[in-house]
Amino acid sequence: MDALEGLAKLARRAREESTPVFGVSEAVRLRILSERPQATTLIPLGLFGGLSALAASITMALAVQFWNYMTSPVMELVAPLPEIRLW
Amino acid sequence: MTIAGCQCWPAERGIGLPGAKRSRPDPVAFPGPILYNCSVEHADWSDVAASLRGDDDAYGRLVQRYERPITGLLWRFTRDPVQCEELVQQVFVEAYFSLKTYRGEAPLLHWLRKIATRTGYRFWREKAKEPQERSLPEFDALEEIAAAEEDRLDPAEAAAVLHALLSRLSPDDRLVLTLMYFEECGTKEIAERMGWSRAKVKTQALRARRKMKEIAEREHLLERLGWTL
C-alpha cells in the first residue's frame, strides 16, 4: 500500500468522526448586538451645535463693541498737542 | 425541507426567460415565499429576508439550522473546542453583517461554508506566524493502537492523526488537502470557496500531496498503522 493510499484510508475513517455541537446562537446574538452600529440620533449633536453658535454670537457682539470703543495708542503721537496756557 | 409548491420568480418578471436579465429581488421589498431560484430553500430565504428587516429571532433560527455543519467544517481547522467555538461564532457574526451580499444563487449552506473555509484559513495563517513546535503526540499514540485494521481504528484518533500530519504543511497546502480529505471537495469546489483559480488549486494539490507523502513516509505511517501488506 502506498503512503497516499494509507492517508486516503485514514481520511475515510476520520470522516466518520462525530463533531461537537456548541449551541452558539445566543452568543452570536449577543456579539451581533454589541457589534451592530448604534443608530446615532442628531439631537445631542444639534444641541451642541446650537449652544456653540450662541456662544460664538455673544462673543462676536462683545468683540465688535469693544472694537468701536477702542482707540489706537498711535493716535496720541500724531494728535496736535493741546495748547497749554502758561499764564 | 423544501416547501412543496415552491414558486420560482414569475416568468413575466423577466427571470428565467432566455436572454432575460437576471436580477435579484430585494428581500426586504419582496418578503415571503417569492423565490427567483428554486435552489434556495423557502425557510432559509424567508429567514434571510426577516433577518435583513432586523428580526433577530429569524437569524437565530438560521444559526441553529446550520450550526452543526459549520462546526463540523471548522473542527477540521482546529481540534481545540474553545477555538473552534470562537471560529463558529465568528462565521455567523460575519455572515450576519454580510447577509445583504447573499444573492441566493446557491443554498445558504454553501455560502456559509465559503465564509467558514475562509475564516478557518485566516485562522491558520495567523497561527502560522507564531513560532510553534510541531509535535505529533497523537501520532506517537498510534504505537499503542493495537487495532491496526481500518474498521477498528477510532475515527476520532484517525482524525487527530490526520490533523496532526496536515498541520506540518503550509496553510495553503493544508487547506487544499483538508478540504480534499475531510470534506471530499473537488478542485472546482475548493476554487469556488476560496476565490482561487482552478489551476492554482490543482498545482497546490499536487505539491501538497507530494509533501504529505514525504511526511507520511518519514513518519512510517503505514508501519505504525500496521497497513503494510
> For the segment B56-111, what is each residue's pLDDT rounded down to a tens digit?
899 999 999 999 999 999 999 999 999 999 999 999 999 999 999 998 888 899 99
What's the grid cell of residue B223? 508501519
Report ipTM for this prediction.
Answer: 0.71
Q: Check CB contact under 8 Å for B97 and A35.
A: yes
What's the grid cell of residue B24? 435579484
pLDDT beyond 50 at B5: no
Pick the residue of A2, A5, A16, A25 with the most B CBs within 10 A to test the interface with B by mutation: A25
**Looking at per-residue confidence, does B170 or B8 come out higher?**
B170
Q: Given B81, B159, B228, which is nearest A1 (Cβ)?
A: B228
d(CA A11, CA A14): 5
Pick the residue of B57, B142, B227, B228 with the most A CBs within 10 A to test the interface with A by mutation: B227
The CATH number covering residue B223 comes to: 1.10.10.10
Residue B19 is predicted with a pLDDT of 34
Q: Residue B143: inside a domain, yes or no?
A: yes
d(CA A36, CA A24): 18
Q: Check CB contact under 8 Å for A24 and B68.
A: no
d(CA A23, CA B116): 16
d(CA A9, CA B152): 12
pLDDT, tens digit, 9 for 90 and up, residues A42-86: 788 899 999 999 999 999 999 988 887 777 777 667 666 666 666
d(CA B212, CA A8): 11
pLDDT, tens digit, 9 for 90 and up, residues B159-205: 998 998 999 999 999 999 999 999 999 999 999 999 999 999 999 99
Q: Map grid coordinates 449552506 to a residue.
A: B109
Domain range for B222: 135-229
Asked whether the CA dihedral B74, B76, B80, B83 is positive or negative, the reply is negative
Residues of B in Cβ contact (< 8 Å) with A3: 213, 216-217, 221-222
Say how many domains are in chain B. Answer: 1
Q: Residue B122: inside a domain, yes or no?
A: no
d(CA A44, CA A51): 11
Q: Check CB contact under 8 Å for A25 and B67.
A: yes
Q: Residue B197: inside a domain, yes or no?
A: yes
Contact between B187 and B198 (Cβ < 8 Å): yes
Residues of A in Cβ contact (< 8 Å) with B217: 3
Q: Residue B207: inside a domain, yes or no?
A: yes
Residues of A with CB under 8 A from a CB of B: 1-4, 6-29, 31-33, 35
Q: Given B182, B227, B229, which is nearest A11 (Cβ)?
A: B182
**Looking at per-residue confidence, does B32 or B68 come out higher?**
B68
Q: Check CB contact under 8 Å for B161 and A35.
A: no
**Looking at per-residue confidence, does B128 or B173 come out higher?**
B173
Residues of B in Cβ contact (< 8 Å) with A30: none
What's the grid cell of residue A54? 450662541
Q: Residue B115: inside a domain, yes or no?
A: no
- What crossing angle do the helices spanning B56-74 and B108-129 adopt, rounded to 10°? 60
**Looking at per-residue confidence, does B152 or B18 come out higher?**
B152
Residues of B with CB under 8 A from a CB of A: 56, 59-60, 63-64, 67-68, 71-72, 75, 81, 84-85, 88-89, 92-93, 96-97, 150, 153, 155-156, 158-159, 161-163, 165, 181-182, 184, 209, 212-213, 216-217, 221-222, 225, 227-229
Residues of B in Cβ contact (< 8 Å) with A22: 67, 71, 81, 84-85, 88
d(CA B104, CA B6): 15
Q: Residue B221: inside a domain, yes or no?
A: yes
pLDDT, tens digit, 9 for 90 and up, residues B205-222: 999 999 999 998 888 888
Contact between A27 and B89 (Cβ < 8 Å): yes
Residue B82 is predicted with a pLDDT of 95
**Looking at per-residue confidence, does B61 or B137 come out higher?**
B61
3-state SS, residue B180: helix
Q: Residue B50: inside a domain, yes or no?
A: no
Q: Residue B213: inside a domain, yes or no?
A: yes
